[in-house]
Structure 1
Amino acid sequence: MTENELSNKIIGASIEIHKTLGPGLLESAYKMALFYDLQQMGLEVKRQVAMPFKYKEINLEIGYRIDILVESKVIIELKAVENLTPTHFAQTLTYLKLSNLKLGLLLNFNEKYLKHGIQRVANGL
């Protein structure tokens, strides 16, 4: 399955969760719901994936963690904030670069309509 096909499935599941739960919950509630729904679709899904940071010849464990990784192809950074900031985009792009992946979805569930909180972030590699 391509990154675009996966992103369509992820966005569809996210919209269904948002319709069911609405805005206003903690980020962790949306993460667990999305993780569960994606697993139920038969996708390989991992939570809180450690993202090692390499500098020259050393590896540093400095606490970077991907919220959700789908099929080892698409990174999901999930937020429940008033507004997405440039820092949220930079974080998602950094994870893409560190993992050598092409596509990330930055999802803000604290929107009246989730479609306003969906951002695709691409790594040009």
Structure 2
Amino acid sequence: MIYPNESYEIIGAAMKVHSIMGPGFTEKVYQEALALEFQERCIPFKREVEIHASYKGITLAGTFIPDFICYDKIIVELKAVRELDDVHRSQAINYAKIAGFQLALLINFGNSSLEYERFPVG
């Protein structure tokens, strides 16, 4: 398993946010609350950092903005939807690929129980 301790800390912070707030808010509300929880738990993070894709070694103009980069090595993508689908999964995986990271976490606050999926990228 890639980065088990860091993943555990990130998911634990998300569980705390979900236990206090529950479902029904927008993704941006959960993002702000999770940033506060990360700060409280001393989890290093960057919020909404622009990353660029490249094609044949040329950096493309378009940018992608993951919700968080934690520990300078894990993409954390948030959703607040009824059901995760393959588009959400592809987004998280592609963000990690573009950033050159080995792990993406996809976290969904949209249901009565927090959902999360881990995606090793390699």
Give TM class, smaller chain.
over 0.9
Segments of structure 2 that go 5 or more residues without pairing to the other structure are none
Which residue number corresponds to residue 117 of structure 2? 119
Deviations 1:29-85 (A, max 9, x none): 100111111122222210111111111232113131111011111111000011111
* TM-score under structure 1 length normalisation: 0.91
Distance of 1:119 and 1:61 partners within structure 2: 29
* TM-score under structure 2 length normalisation: 0.93
AA matched with 1:102: Q
Which residue number corresponds to residue 71 of structure 1? 71
AA matched with 1:121: F
AA matched with 1:69: I
The root-mean-square deviation of aligned C-alpha atoms, in Å, is: 1.2
> Contact 1:105 / 1:121 at 8 angstroms: preserved in 2?
yes
Count of aligned residue pairs for this structure pair? 121
Runs ≥4 residues deviating over 2 A: none
Range 25-34 or range 61-70, more displaced = 61-70
Segments of structure 1 that go 5 or more residues without pairing to the other structure are none
Distance of 1:108 and 1:43 partners within structure 2: 19
Aligned identity (percent) is: 34
Distance of 2:45 and 2:36 partners within structure 1: 9
